[in-house]
A and B are shown apart, each in its own frame.
Chain A
Amino acid sequence: MQPVVEMLNIRKEFPGILANDNVTITLNHGEVLALLGENGAGKSTLMSVLFGLYQPESGTIKVKGQEVKIPNPNVAGELGIGMVHQHFKLVHNFTVTENIVLGIEPTRGGVLTLKQASEKIRQLSKQYGLDVDPDAKIEDVSVGMQQRVEILKMLYRNSEVLIFDEPTAVLTPQEILELMKIMRNLQAEGKSIIVITHKLKEIKAIADRCTVIRRGKLVGTVSVKDTSQAQMAEMMVGREVSFHVDKGPFNPGATVLQVNNLSVRNNRKLPALKSFTLDVRAGEIVGVAGVEGNGQTEFVEALTGLRPVDSGHILVNGNEITRATVRQRIDAKVAHIPEDRQKRGLVLDYTLAENFVLENHGLEPFSTKGFLNQDAIYAQANRLIEAFDVRSGEGAKSKARGLSGGNQQKAIVGREIDLNPDLLIAVQPTRGLDVGSIEYIHKRLVEQRDAGKAVLLVSLELDEILDLSDRIAVVCRGELVGVVDAKSTDENKIGLMMAGVKTGVAE
């Protein structure tokens, strides 16, 4: 059977960057094709070309064998091509129905008639198992639900080819499973799907074939069944990627962080962390596992001085820091890779060089008597950019805003490690990154441990916790469920503990 979509030898250039260099992909009827590549590989660009948002410099697009020109998204729509963007395009104070019909509003004599539309949406929702209420307001529904509204938008317009740009990036694990189910339903009903992702597990779970691009160039297309995750990762990164991090021998030293009976409240003044006790020693990584929103954020904020403590004690190297300021904690050699890199970790309008001295700009050699020393600041920036492989357009002078997420994160990790802390608190250090960057950051964290530093790793990714930690502390509803030895546990046991079941063997 003829492919539904063929993009042949597509070339798309941006000023100074060849985003797509002679890329060819084909999508067969009724299949799920994964588009895999690192951040900045050119995946979104390629799909935007197909959706009519960009015009390629050269190359042809065929839909059902017919050569077509797609000058804008309306034409794409007429050709049966729909796209769910990474950032949803919904009007928040409109209802689901109003959002879906936006642009093709049904009218009778100039008056909006939404009733039929709403009925059709209800019916489509049922057919594909989407479970969307057509009359709900967007601002009242979850992110996962908003995504389904975007899917319904495509279905309402009778799209046959559905493009998803990193659909799982914004979802919780539960929502991801549901999305997978929905995609299978769509496939069963004869839709053809292209899904952009850099999560190999998801590709394994849902895709039939996988096309890999690297730095704008096509690497190849493989059958997912016959290709291992390691092979796909290697195609994507261009070298072998090890999923397992080699750690040195486990030689824990003195206790660096001591948390005793710590209680903290959340923003609504309700108890978020209840009488929490935990130690981290030099030379070990302690992972904190738990479902999102079980007190991890508040715990870290209390440790780093961003949130007041209700009761209990925090000691670093034996010194009480329970009520110390953020500054005093930094001086006590506590470094912090924050959960939200754009909100906390970087001043996006500052250059990379300026961001590298966010904590120590007040110290020699970066400033003398209150005056900044640009030479020293730039020298350090160039050193860190080199050491931590931070890629950007203009090096140290690049605005942090212009960097890809992975490179922003590498910059933060580099900065914090370079503070040479005794305690490194890493929160979700690899969220949203591709495997190459994940591997890199994991190596750096383990290096810290092997160098005899204490590392506290807080992550929602169970794989990450299991791979890196020496010991794992599990939290549920703000309480410590237990601390287990990483070697003697597995995903299932931790999963049970995360649900609050106290099966953990004490150390």
Chain B
Amino acid sequence: MKFLVKKEVLVGLTAVVLGLLAGALFMAVTGNNPFTGYFYLFAGGMMNLERLGNTLAMATPLILTGLSVAFAFRTGLFNIGAAGQALIGGLVATAIGLTVGLPKAILLPLILIAAALGGALWAWLPGILKAKFNVHEVVSTIMMNWIAYWLTYYTIPAFFKGSFETESRLISDAASLKTPFLTELFAGSYINMGLFVSLVAVFLVSIVLNRTVLGYRLKAVGYNRFAAEYAGINVNRHIVASMAIAGALAGLGGATLYVGYASSMQIGILPSIGFDGIAVALLASNSPLGVLGSAVFFGILQSGKGFMNAMTKIPPEIGDTIIATIIYFAATSVLIERWFASFTKRKGGKSRV
């Protein structure tokens, strides 16, 4: 991990800077002052404890779905299904929260474990399909997204209907990841213990990927499954394991969203954290620590854009545009890398003359 790697950080930061510059350009073109715009955008994300807490609460599920995508990617799999896995994680968490009456100290671990298992199951199936029948995981995880969507769509009104047809009942305090200590510390924000869950996950994922036999094998399968097979590594089992772990992470992300940030589930949407997780992972070059950084950054933009809109005439969509532009630059990071390479080469050449 120590050597993982200055180049990626540089590329990520460049993408961010270019994205911000592009955002400034949009603001200027629409007749606004970019400096005021950015001032309020970042102020909106960090200005006081409450806003900071909300930023972190916003980042929490993104860290987990970002890890999910990054983990799968490091092992050669493209997990587009984080949204569905998160939804199932949230559904399981909500279901237990609404039906099981236990003290908080027992109920919360139960909820988290069940959410992780639900997400894992949702990704395990595409893993099996890939391993046994060579069905591409992009196709099957998208399919699973919609199955999760419709499953939630019918389950919530049928069993957990709240005051609206489209919403579940509110979970009790015992089932919520919110805790008075944190809520008060951050002046009544949405921040919750999911943050610790996500930090532990960052730590564990980076340990697994970099320090363990399991990580070595998963990455070997991802880089070159023929060589892995040659070396006696059970390729199919590791594909399934990788998907299941990625799904568990996304499932946890769903729990931190639906029983942490929120207190009820709505039907009829796939949570955006699934797809934003792809962006987070991309900007982070799939490194766990990078995921932490880029999720927090996206959290700032997400929670600051409303404030920017309130204080200026800049539409909140500028925030999304900046994110999209950053993603664009991160996705074309090859070009940025090449640009750096040519720069260093030229410099090297000059110094020699």
Contacts and interface: CB of A to CB of B under 8 A. Distances in A.
B31 interface: no
Interface centre among A15, A305, A347 (most CB of B within 10 A): A347
Given A330-B232, A350-B220, A358 B212 contact: no
Contact of A370 (B212, B224, B226): B212
Contact of B213 (A336, A345, A349, A371): A371
A358 B213 contact: no
A358 B227 CA distance: 9
A336 B230 contact: yes
Interface string B220-237: 100110111111111000
Contact of A359 (B211, B214, B232, B234): B232
Contact of B231 (A15, A359, A367): A359
B216 interface: yes
A347 B214 contact: no
B211 to A, nearest CB: 6
Contacts of B345: 15
A377 B234 CA distance: 22
A344 B235 CA distance: 13
Interface residues of B, number: 21
Chain B binding surface SS class = helix
Contacts of B220: 347, 350, 358
A372 B230 contact: no
Contacts of B226: 343-344
A350 B212 contact: no
B229 A326 contact: yes
A346 interface: yes
A338 interface: yes
A343 B227 contact: yes
A367 B217 CA distance: 12
Contact of A326 (B216, B219, B224, B230): B230
A350 B227 CA distance: 11
A347 B224 contact: yes
A358 B229 CA distance: 10
Contacts of B232: 305, 325-327, 329-330, 359
Contacts, number: 66
Contacts of B219: 350
A86 B278 CA distance: 38
A457 B310 CA distance: 76
Contact of B227 (A330, A344, A362, A370): A344
A494 to B, nearest CB: 29
A160 interface: no
A354 B216 contact: yes
Nearest to A14: B345
Contacts of A344: 226-227, 229-230
Nearest to B210: A372
A75 interface: no
Contacts of A361: 213, 216-217
Contacts of B348: 15
A304 B227 CA distance: 13
Given A15-B348, A349-B223, A350-B220, A372 B231 contact: no
A350 B230 contact: no
Contacts of A347: 220, 223-224, 227-228
B230 A370 contact: no
A366 to B, nearest CB: 9
A325 B237 CA distance: 14
B229 A306 contact: yes
Contacts of A370: 212-214
A58 to B, nearest CB: 12
Contact of B230 (A15, A345, A371): A345
A306 B224 contact: no
Interface string B152-172: 000000000000000000000
B166 to A, nearest CB: 46
Interface in B135-177: none
Interface in A323-371: 325-327, 329-330, 336, 338, 343-350, 354, 358-359, 361-362, 367, 370-371
28 contacts: A15-B345, A305-B232, A306-B229, A306-B230, A325-B234, A326-B230, A326-B231, A329-B232, A330-B231, A338-B230, A343-B226, A344-B230, A345-B227, A347-B220, A347-B223, A347-B227, A347-B228, A348-B224, A349-B223, A349-B224, A358-B220, A358-B230, A359-B232, A367-B213, A370-B212, A370-B213, A372-B212, A372-B216
Interface of B: 211-214, 216-217, 219-220, 223-224, 226-234, 345, 348
Interface of A: 15, 304-306, 325-327, 329-330, 336, 338, 343-350, 354, 358-359, 361-362, 367, 370-372
Given A325-B232, A350-B219, A372-B211, 4 more contacts: A343-B227, A344-B227, A349-B223, A371-B212
